[in-house]
Structure 1
Amino acid sequence: MVVPLVVGIDGSEASLEAVEWAADEAVRHEVPLHLVHAAATDHETPGLVAVASERAGKSAPTVRLSSEVVHEDAASALVGKGRNAFALVLGSRGLGDLAGLLLGSVSLAVAAHADCPVVVVRGGLEHRNGRFGSVVVGVEDGQGSGTAVDFAFRESHVRRCRLVAVHAWSVPVGNPGPPGFSGYALQAMGRPPAQVLADALRSPAERYQDVPVSGDVVEGPARRVLLEAASGADLLVVGARRRHGHVGLQLGLVNHAVLHHAPCPTRSYRRYDPVTSRVGRVAVQQGPSAP
């Protein structure tokens, strides 16, 4: 059984844009598309599902499509469906969200708690329709970004586009180092930033030799660096750490920033326990706890 790509619908224009994006994505990855609408009652539900199904069919006529209405709150329903999903796709805003919110409350809750990759569909038509021919992935030190990098390579492979891997670094606050050392030299006393990037790309680059890859090592806050890189991308891929011992939302500052402000669709990958958690029936490795 092939697990589906699941998209949440609520009748908002943002959710319908997410349906169109998800339909194309499902065809690229050769997986079914499953529409999920969470509703307290059946009032107007058939029409809403029909409109979303029509938008999916127009965007990708060959997509294998199914739909479902569940009677529970939207965030819980989608998190539950994500336990057996290729990924969850969400609109950036919902019908009931306040005008001042940059990201819908349901999308934010699902991105924080889902057990599968989550895509928040953001940006204008040029970013959603693959105009730029580029996927950007954020790379950090350690094992944390390995899953995100792997999936970014796969996205670039199915899209037949280039991959831009970005590693942002900065000198720790309060650690100026010896007189005369540049910031890069100080950072290189530990693990050189260029080496961090090269190590992260080596293995997946061998598996996806058809993907053209460029690397960019940038001094500065990761949030700013990734948002700037995403301005010329069709998709931004970032990793999200589990925050052990924290109650409630489990997204770090970088994830919050890109999910709220990225100019293009953004895919977030959580890091899992390799024994107890699986995504698309492929076990992936859990990264370190976030501070």
Structure 2
Amino acid sequence: MTKALPIVVGVDGSEPSLRAVDWAADEAALRGLPLRLVYASLWERYEGTSLADDVGKPDEQVLAEDVVDSAARRARRRRPDLDVSVDVLPEEPEYALVRESRLATALVLGTRGRGGLTEMLLGSVSLTVAAHADCPVIVLRGSHDDRAAAGTRGRVVVGVGEDGKDSPAVRFAADEARRRGVPLEAVRAWRCPAYETTDHPLMSGEPARLHEERAVEALDTAVADVPADVELHRHTVEGHARRVLLDAAADAGLLVVGAKRRDVTFGLQLGRVAHAVLHHATCPVAVVPHRV
């Protein structure tokens, strides 16, 4: 029997990471999956091996073990029946969490941890992992209530791009909406390029209408396989995709966007829309990879 892949959470003792533990515990319970808590840090680079010889363990490793044990107790208090495991890894958190994503159903992160600069809108770890992970990455943006549970009132919003009918982002969003018992709002942004506009009174509005019709067709194609038991709302909106999605998700429980993954080892591979909503959304954001 194949073992179920866990929900993985990156923890470091910061308040954002503890909020991520709460959210991930709910998500794991919703899906009937185990929860895995991971602390990753290169403490050996800074403390050296001599300290480990003197006291048994580097101070940072002792701290890391305390952090994951405390997070595990928190998750079990929230969800007593949850299968929770922990791990402490002596390596850069970005690399460790991207590797963890290969054997995870989803990966949950806070906006930034103890090392985040105050002027950053999103921590470098969260941004890098969202850009390279093999599984969906949920970053806990906004002043939400740290809940991902059945009966949660906030709807799920998904941005519909160019993936076509078999969209991983739409599938993920529909599954989240169904499990929570909330509506799914599928949004497709469209724009009429300036060079297609005309001042002729008989042609006024014609190019815009054609672009909107194409947007409606693309949206209908993308949501064609959404299960019938999911309450579905469709919207096409004129404007920049990032602004349209941020407005649509202003009071949502979750915003879902896709991110194309190409077979290269450099660059963020995130896209401008995903990058923008990760920095500015007022609700949790799920970035769902799509191999091309």
Range class of TM-score, shorter chain: 0.7 to 0.9
Where 2:195 maps in the other structure, the secondary structure is coil
Contact 2:26–2:147 (8 Å) recurs in 1: no
Who is 2:252 aligned against? 233
Who is 1:170 aligned against? 191
Contact 1:91–1:107 (8 Å) recurs in 2: yes
Where 1:43 maps in the other structure, the secondary structure is helix
Who is 1:73 aligned against? 92
Structure 1: gaps spanning 5 or more residues: 273-285, 287-291
State the shift of 1:61 in Å: 2.1
Where in structure 1 do 4 or more consecutive aligned residues deviate above 4 Å? 127-131, 243-246
State the shift of 1:152 in Å: 0.7
Contact 1:145–1:239 (8 Å) recurs in 2: no
Query: Structure 2 residue aligned with 1:184, among 208, 211, 216?
Result: 208
**Structure 2 vs 1, CA of residues 270 and 144 (structure 1 numbering), >3 Å: closer, same or farther?**
farther
Who is 1:256 aligned against? 275
Who is 2:9 aligned against? 7
State the shift of 1:32 in Å: 0.5
CA distances 1:144-194 after superposition (whole Å, capped 9, x unpaired) = 871100111110111111101111100134333684241532415xx6221
Where 2:121 maps in the other structure, the secondary structure is coil
Contact 1:9–1:37 (8 Å) recurs in 2: yes
Residue 194 in 1 paired to residue 213 in 2?
no
Q: Provide the C-alpha distance between the structure 1 equivalents of 2:117 and 2:15, rounded to a whole number of angstroms.
A: 15
State the shift of 1:127 in Å: 6.8
1:257 is aligned with what amino acid? A
Q: Provide the C-alpha distance between the structure 1 equivalents of 2:268 and 2:165, rounded to a whole number of angstroms.
A: 19
Sequence identity, in percent? 46
Structure 2: gaps spanning 5 or more residues: 44-59
Q: Provide the C-alpha distance between the structure 2 equivalents of 1:167 and 1:11, rounded to a whole number of angstroms.
A: 38
Who is 1:283 aligned against? none
1:22 is aligned with what amino acid? A
Who is 1:150 aligned against? 171
Q: Provide the C-alpha distance between the structure 2 equivalents of 1:21 and 1:144, rounded to a whole number of angstroms.
A: 30
Who is 2:21 aligned against? 19
Q: 241-250 vs 93-102, which deviates more?
A: 241-250
State the shift of 1:50 in Å: 1.9
Query: Structure 1 residue aligned with 2:129, among 107, 110, 118?
Result: 110
Who is 2:76 aligned against? 57
2:211 is aligned with what amino acid? Q
Q: Provide the C-alpha distance between the structure 2 equivalents of 1:254 and 1:173, rounded to a whole number of angstroms.
A: 21
**Structure 2 vs 1, CA of residues 265 and 53 (structure 1 numbering), >3 Å: closer, same or farther?**
same
Paired residues, what number?
268
Who is 1:31 aligned against? 33
CA distances 1:60-95 after superposition (whole Å, capped 9, x unpaired) = 222211000011000000001111110111101111
Larger radius of gyration: 2
Equivalence map 1:63-102=2 (5 Å): 63-102=82-121
**Structure 2 vs 1, CA of residues 84 and 97 (structure 1 numbering), >3 Å: closer, same or farther?**
same
State the shift of 1:27 in Å: 0.6
Contact 1:92–1:121 (8 Å) recurs in 2: yes
TM-score normalised by structure 2 residue count: 0.86
Q: Provide the C-alpha distance between the structure 2 equivalents of 1:153 and 1:105, rounded to a whole number of angstroms.
A: 29
Q: Provide the C-alpha distance between the structure 2 equivalents of 1:265 and 1:145, rounded to a whole number of angstroms.
A: 23
Contact 2:139–2:286 (8 Å) recurs in 1: yes
**Structure 2 vs 1, CA of residues 76 and 211 (structure 1 numbering), >3 Å: closer, same or farther?**
same
Who is 1:137 aligned against? 158
Who is 1:289 aligned against? none
Who is 2:285 aligned against? 266
Q: 228-237 vs 54-63, which deviates more?
A: 54-63
State the shift of 1:116 in Å: 1.0
1:79 is aligned with what amino acid? V
CA distances 1:231-278 after superposition (whole Å, capped 9, x unpaired) = 121000000123566832111110111111111111011112xxxxxx
CA distances 1:99-140 after superposition (whole Å, capped 9, x unpaired) = 000101100110111111111011113474665331000012
Who is 1:276 aligned against? none
Residue 160 in 1 paired to residue 181 in 2?
yes
Where 1:125 maps in the other structure, the secondary structure is coil
Contact 2:165–2:222 (8 Å) recurs in 1: no
Contact 1:14–1:93 (8 Å) recurs in 2: yes
Q: Provide the C-alpha distance between the structure 2 equivalents of 1:61 and 1:105, rounded to a whole number of angstroms.
A: 33
